[in-house]
Amino acid sequence: MQKSVLLLLLLVSLSSCDSQVSVENKLDQGMVVSAHPLASEVGRSILLKGGNAFDAAIATNFALAVVYPRAGNLGGGGFATFRLQNGGYGSLDFRERAPKDARRDMYLDSLGEVVPDLSKKGPLSIGVPGTVEGMVQLHKKYGKLSWRDVVAPAIELAEGGHALSPYNAEMLFRYQKEFHEVNEDTILFTAQGWLPGDILYQPALASTLKLIAAEGRDGFYKGITAKYMTESINDRGGILSIRDLKTYEAIWRETVRDSIGEYTIVSMAPPSSGGVAILQLLKSYMMLKPDKLKPNSSEYIHFISEIAKRVYSDRAQYLGDPDFVQVPIDSFISEAYLRKRMAGINLNTNSSSADIEGPQVEVIESHETTHLSVVDENGNCVSLTTTLNSNFGSKLFISEAGFFMNNEMDDFSAKPGTPNQFGLLGAEANAIAPKKRMLSSMSPTIVLKNGQPHFILGTPGGSTIITN
């Protein structure tokens, strides 16, 4: 049984990465894994200065905003799951939310049909960003070093510049057309053709980070940075307001956790679907696994896919922002419910839509997310996933402040109950509403073995994160 649990757990990758290879920095005082070597080195340096896992995670995340602009961010959001050295658990939801002027039908035309790309790029695709507020709250509650100390390395990277990796240079080249289309003028990233090894200097981003270092959340959600954001977005037809920024709050949430044998899985609750879905997958597999089912055989893959169909059906139909919809987490991960939910699985046939009540799939999430994992010498563990949604988010760049804005509004169900342009269904639980958080598949997860940290997990992949 233990080997089977490990086998399925390892379907979840350790972290997002440049060129698909996690970059880790190990030392006696802990370990940092992130998508970029410079960001990982920042986290390592914070641990060497005596900082804890929270300090290192925050510093690494700000560094990713500088060196990994396609997904690292100030203008996005995410989730963090953590385990404290005293054995306690917690999680923080700093997911973006819809602006107060968002409407249920804002992406539909006069005939009630979804307007292609309106929620995917440009000013109306932008949700209220949560990353900076998330980092502020993590530091306020659990940080050890000063706030200035954890932001300083990112400022140095933005001011001093860094050499573009082949992958980041390729990504900047690939999105030139969309940068021009959305911004309608020259921005930092369209100023020249980018090549591997080119030095990227980001003075505007450095200035914004200095404001954040000096003023905390007010350096981002109020004052000149807020002015830059709202003017840049709304001059192009957006709806983000100063009030949206001032009133944004990260939310401390209970983790979703359960034990399977000697393993305890600790993950994120809604509006992340990760914790519920991962536990449904793992528990269903362990309860129902046929004898002598060989890993990676056609029967094995069929069995896993049949479980996943039902898990994703529940995700699409029932999960959403818990401040707007009731999500009975304990029921969804209970053995009684899962036995009933999976009862129709047949190893010899594929389930049809009629076999699985509710939508089987939903709105596609973009795959361009980044993850970092940190553990310190005292056993504090942080699993943190953040995103702009698509590569470079909405493609709208706040030139005066030096960062891209997200396109997270695309993660809502633009037209519940009706297939979108991909032929996929969304549900009422994830319909657009003012100040509502959109459903996510980000799944920052910690696995303990006999009560001790064993894995710190997370990955990019959009709606495939859960099964990656």
Mean pLDDT of the chain: 86
pLDDT at 464 over 90: no
The closest of 172, 179, 140, 183 to 67, measured between CA atoms, is: 172
Encode pLDDT of 362-409 as tens digits: 445 455 689 999 999 999 999 999 999 999 999 999 999 999 999 999
- Does residue 42 have a pLDDT over 50? yes
Once rounded to an integer, what is the mean pLDDT over residues 414-420? 66
The answer to whether 369 is a known catalytic residue is yes
pLDDT value at position 169? 94
pLDDT at residue number 417: 67
Among the options 369, 385, 386, 445, which is catalytic? 369
**Higher per-residue confidence, 19 vs 304:** 304
2-9 helix and 274-288 helix, angle to the nearest 10 degrees: 140
pLDDT per residue as tens digits for the range 126-161: 999 999 999 999 999 999 999 999 999 999 999 999
Task: Give the per-residue pLDDT at 274.
Answer: 79
Give the burial class of 232: count Cβ atoms within 10 A of its Cβ; 0-12 exposed, 13-18 middle, 19 or more buried: buried
CA dihedral 214, 216, 221, 227 (to 10 degrees): 0
Residues 6+ apart with CB under 8 A from 308: 281, 466, 467
Strands 403-404 and 368-376: unpaired
Give pLDDT, residue 333.
Answer: 87
Residue 22 pLDDT exceeds 90: no
Q: Give yes or no for a cis peptide into 69 (omega within 30° of 0).
A: no
At residue 373, the 3 state secondary structure works out as: strand
Residue 105, CA distances (Å) to 118, 431, 465 in order: 12, 9, 28
Average pLDDT for 116-128: 96
Report the pLDDT averaged over residues 80-107. Answer: 96
- 28 or 25, greater pLDDT: 28
Using pLDDT thresholds of 50, 70 and 90, give the confidence band for residue 418: low
284-310: pLDDT as tens digits: 888 888 777 788 888 888 988 888 888
Of 237, 280, 213, give the one whose Cα is nearest residue 466: 280
- pLDDT at position 28 is 67
Contact 158, 204 (CB under 8 A): no
The predicted-structure confidence for 227-242, as pLDDT tens digits, reads as follows 999 999 999 999 999 9
pLDDT tens-digit map of 168-207? 999 999 999 999 999 987 888 886 678 999 999 999 999 9
DSSP code per residue over 261-320 = TTEEEEEPPTTB-HHHHHHHHHHHHHHHPPTTPPTTSHHHHHHHHHHHHHHHHHHHHH-S
* DSSP symbol at 129: P
- pTM, rounded to two decimals: 0.88
DSSP character at residue 37: H
Domain boundaries defined on the chain: 31-253+390-424
pLDDT band for position 15 (50/70/90)?
Answer: very low
> Under a CB-based contact definition with an 8 Å cutoff, are residues 369 and 462 in contact?
yes
What does the alpha-carbon distance between residue 421 and residue 439 come to, in Å, rounded to a whole number?
Answer: 19
Q: Give the mean model confidence (pLDDT) for residues 437-445.
A: 86
Q: What phi and psi, each to the nearest 5 degrees, are found at residue 378?
A: -95, -5
| Whether the predicted pLDDT of 420 surpasses 50 | no
